[in-house]
Amino acid sequence: MKANLDVLPLSSWIDTAGKPLIIAGPCSAETEEQVSETVSRIAKEGYAHVIRAGVWKPRTRPGSFEGMGEAALPWLAAMKKETGLPIAVEVATPQHIELALKYGIDILWIGARTTVNPFNVQDLADALKGVDVPVLIKNPVNPDLALWVGAFERIAGAGIKKMAAIHRGFSNAQETKFRNSPMWQLAVELKTLFPQLPMIGDPSHMAGKRAYLYELAQRALDLNYDGLIIESHRNPDEAWSDASQQLTPEALGEMLRSLEIRKPSYGEDFQSELDQLRQKIDNIDRELLEVLAARMAVVEKLGEYKRENNVAVLQLDRWKQLHNSRADLGKKLNLYPELVEEMFKLIHMESIRKQTEVMNQQPA
């Protein structure tokens, strides 16, 4: 995929004194007291650069708490005045944008359920024309990089240059450890495509449970993310939404303080050591590809043999046997099972593609 994005660095619109950007606040603004107490306690802890709060909540099914709407905006504006911290809210319609700006909200974010729909994103882009406000875009609910990229392109098309990505993970059909699968590689791909685009990790929505927040936040920092957005509530168990994934402002402070921020300490030998290790990787990758090419040459021969003998391309018994034996071998070699599984699925699919091509060729 090729794409271009005109993005300003994070430091040009928010001062974090060189530290990762921390956006903290309740999942939802529920009452004036809840907003006031939560935000005051977060501000007192001193870690947050921005306060977040959900005002309009897209819920899976009707009947759940859908946010206080416009009524909550003055509560947030008051806390901005009191603490001096900028406020971020989620917007999903042009009317949300109009109201958020009317009440002096500083940063807008587009949620995963909006990013997924290009019509919605375009409506938001149209409403943002001529407005100078930072816009954070969460990944779409499904793992489709192009949709995420498209959302940035649409918002950039409105002239917005203060943008950042929020990586909140991807919805699952089945119950998994995390509420939303991180699929880190997709965020890394986005980062590779737009190296200048700030990346913010959203451990709260990946985790779904307090217990996993630390490991996910640390992982994001290890991947050199520019910041974190984390939910915090004065009394998490009583929260009207996402009760199981929020932390008290103080517990969040403790967690943030325990995170390791990877700062390279460049010793004299660092670069040459790094270069040597990278040279080894380059050589191994070449060998990997040569071995793969050799395998494909055998697959092609097998294809010709099958054509001559009128044998079907897909051989399920052999595939099952191969799949299991490679999984066992991978385990013995201490390889991550999913890597081995996915790699052989891809290789097998490519064998089938190649042999189907061979089958349909006239013999020489």
Ligand X SMILES: O=C(O)C(=O)C[C@]1(C(=O)O)C=C[C@@H](O)C=C1
Q: Which residues contact 181 (CB under 8 A, 6 or more apart)?
A: 143, 169, 170, 172, 206
Q: Does 327 bind ligand X (CB under 6 A)?
A: no
Task: Pick the stretch among 61-69, 81-89, 135-143, 316-324 that binds ligand X (CB under 6 A).
Answer: 316-324
Residue 297's Cβ-side half-sphere holds a number of Cα atoms within 13 Å equal to 6
Distance CA 224, CA 261 (A): 9
Helix axis angle, 213-222 to 249-258, nearest 10°: 40
User: Least separation, in Å, of the C-beta of 25 and ligand X?
Assistant: 52
Among 116, 299, 340, 358, binds ligand X (CB under 6 A): 299
Task: Pick the stretch among 37-45, 106-114, 220-228, 351-359 that binds ligand X (CB under 6 A).
Answer: 351-359
Distance CA 137, CA 74 (A): 24
Q: Does 314 bind ligand X (CB under 6 A)?
A: yes
Tokens 């603004």 map to which residue? 29
Among 318, 331, 345, 353, binds ligand X (CB under 6 A): 318
* Nearer residue to ligand X within complex by CB, 70 or 341: 341
Beta bridge partners of 163: 135
* Nearer residue to ligand X within complex by CB, 173 or 312: 312
* Nearer residue to ligand X within complex by CB, 209 or 318: 318
User: Least separation, in Å, of the C-beta of 334 and ligand X?
Assistant: 23
Tokens representing 320 are: 């099952």
Distance CA 213, CA 230 (A): 9
Q: Does 204 bind ligand X (CB under 6 A)?
A: no
Distance CA 98, CA 10 (A): 24
Task: Pick the stretch among 68-76, 232-240, 310-318, 335-343 that binds ligand X (CB under 6 A).
Answer: 310-318
Handedness of CA 157, 160, 161, 164 (dihedral sign): negative
**What binding mask, one character per residue, do residues 110-149 give for ligand X by CB under 6 A, x or -?**
----------------------------------------
Among 322, 327, 343, 359, binds ligand X (CB under 6 A): 322
Task: Pick the stretch among 42-50, 105-113, 144-152, 350-358 that binds ligand X (CB under 6 A).
Answer: 350-358
Beta bridge partners of 330: none
User: Least separation, in Å, of the C-beta of 320 and ligand X?
Assistant: 9
Which helix (H) or strand (E) covers residue 77, if one does? helix 73-83
Among 259, 302, 327, 335, binds ligand X (CB under 6 A): 302
* Long-range Cβ contact pairs of 321-329 (< 8 A, separation 24 or more): 322/348, 323/348
* Nearer residue to ligand X within complex by CB, 277 or 314: 314
Residues in contact with ligand X by the rule CB under 6 A: 299, 302, 314-315, 318-319, 322, 348, 351-352, 355
